Structure 1
């Protein structure tokens, strides 16, 4: 089987979990994903199958679109709601301050990856150090935000994690961490923030419109246009 299969990754699975499931269902060992999604995240995860695996490095380098929801007034060690709470301020930004702060992240910038990430340091994943409380320095990486937009902002006093939340849409370069953006935005606003939900809506030329649920993989015809044949 040669081609690209676009999965709508469900919450709770790692990208590797999806690859393993696809290998089992399709009976194809040569399958690789083209851009890691954290277990919390959902959305577009293109899988290169068969001869198309030689295209992985090109597909991985593509820009991505995300829809993200964050909570203000709280921080966590993983920079998302799956982690342990590290601080709580209860503060929320004003809408004007939020819009101004978001605009500051457009363009090229240096971004520090999250401590809990798959970045390799000396042959080990960064999250391995973080889980053992071992200090490790992750070098900032040059990234780019082509567009960022505030979609919604609302107070939420009933939230168990924070006083308010906002939803944003952004287009960014490969290697960009939305969790790091949320961390940096919270620091800029002086409120603290953590990621609540993340959905990838586009990866390169692949969008949610063509994505299928993992349960439907066995019934999906592979797209031969990206097989390299």
Structure 2
């Protein structure tokens, strides 16, 4: 029986936005269960430990912005962590896609829910031939935002008869962390294109064109 896992992460929230330039992103990571990633996961975890870093969850945004537990880490250490996740993503047999909603077109919960539903529905329809090649589709989401969880449940259930939903913690699933990483890079691509990277983001990616040539170009090879 062919089984597909879909790991989902989002950037943004359903509250009213204070900046019309904001976006709401949802990233979907697709993993064929016939393709084992155990070795990739072990290599990532060993690499983190060998660096002397005690990190269970490589949370890309806070790593870049030096937030939370990552406040105690130097720029070099945080860059090491992001590159380790980047290498993990690039070596894993996975694909992904992201839907993005402009908040200036969806400034409240109702509008955002409607636009997200349509965008996710269109994404599934576009890749339906691929999805129908599997006997079972398991969707992993941490239910961090109930509105998004409800939308995902409704849309996937309508489109696919063989879908199952599982609540998952990012600390336990490296591919949820991969979805977080990919979502973060896609948001950074938007901000870079619009010339509004924050000072902290610019300081993190201090090498000329590093963000574009390494990260943005790199993950483009993984788009479904």
Shorter-chain TM-score: which interval?
Answer: under 0.3
Q: What TM-score do the two structures reach when normalised by structure 1?
A: 0.26
Q: Decide which structure has greater strand share.
A: 1
Q: What TM-score do the two structures reach when normalised by structure 2?
A: 0.27
